[in-house]
Structure 1
Amino acid sequence: MTNLVPPPATSGKSLLERVEDALLPLINLVFLLLMFFIVAGQLANEPLPELPGAAASGQEQTPDADLKVTEGGGWLAGASSVDEQTLLASLPEPGAGQPLRVAAAESVTMAELERLFRILERGGYKDVLLLTEPGP
């Protein structure tokens, strides 16, 4: 019976030597990529430019919101303080083309926000935008 597959041409090398020869180009490629990223990282040590619209000074701006939630959990619609009974009457009509913008103080808990959002949902507000400020 004859062999259908010819024996591998070994050229006198063992299997381990042939595997090492096949890995050498891969090792060279990894080394070249490593060198490229080291050099590219050294070339770009300039600081990133300021983003357009970013505040150059450290002044804080109050967000333009329809409703503000204060640190104690109180609500401000415009400049006046409102309670649960007068909240919906002091806000713009729901579905007026824009979402209701709500700004909350940093210390307001999620439970307080959830209570507010449930009241707003019962009042017909389906689109509510929670305004946030980036941290330092």
Structure 2
Amino acid sequence: MTDLVPPPFSSGKSLMERVEDALLPLINLVFLLLMFFIVAGQLADDPLPELPATTQTREQRPPDADLTVDAGGNWRIAGETLDEESLLSTLPAPNELHPLRIAAAQTITMADLETLFRVLEKGGHTDILLLTEPGE
């Protein structure tokens, strides 16, 4: 029957000692990389530059929408608040190639949107794009 552990090499070290010797350079390398990233992270004190798509720039530019629904559920076109009758007459004619773009406030309820969608459906607007902003 043969032994499960091979006999030691000419150096006289056992298998476990040889494995430990082989792992030592790897452990040293990982330690040096860790130290490098710690030092490099402390050297860069400058804050990251502000990205162009932050909330400050989004708030300054109004959305490119045909219709805006504010937080109170009011329907606005070009800043003018409209009711159901004036809304349909002010909106552009329904067009299959260019769907109606609606920008709704984040706090608006689904019930308010459903009311608006029913009015728009009466006016022939079946293709609608609901513009949203990413959450923070």
Task: Give the shorter-chain TM-score range.
Answer: 0.5 to 0.7
- Greater helix percent: which structure? 2
Identity %: 53
DSSP-derived class of the 1:80 partner = strand
**Which amino acid in structure 2 is aligned with residue 66 of structure 1?**
D
TM-score by length of 2: 0.63
- Where 1:36 maps in the other structure, the secondary structure is helix
Q: Counterpart in 1 of 2:131?
A: 130
Change in CA separation of 1:101 and 1:43 when aligned onto 2, cut-off 3 Å: farther
| Residue equivalent to 2:95 | 94
**Whole-angstrom distance in 2 between the partners of 1:109 and 1:16:** 68
CA gap 1:108/1:8 in 2 versus in 1, 3 angstroms: same
Matched, 1:39 2:44: no
Query: Over the residues paired in the alignment, what is the CA RMSD in angstroms?
Result: 3.7
- Distance in 2, matches of 1:9 and 1:90, equals 92
Which runs of structure 2 are paired with 1:1-136 in the superposition (5 Å)? Answer: 8=6, 10-11=8-9, 12-51=12-51, 60-78=60-78, 79-83=80-84, 87-92=87-92, 93-97=94-98, 99-113=99-113, 115=114, 118-119=117-118, 123-126=125-128, 128-132=129-133
In 2, Cα distance between equivalents of 1:70 and 1:56: 19
SS in structure 1 at match of 2:126: coil
Structure 1 unaligned regions, length at least 5: none
CA deviation map 1:61-94 (0-9, x unaligned)? 54342111122223223313132x6645432333
Q: Does the C-alpha gap of structure 1 residues 8 and 37 become closer, same or farther in structure 2, counting only changes over 3 Å?
A: same
Structure 2 runs not aligned, ≥5 long: none
TM-score (norm 1): 0.63
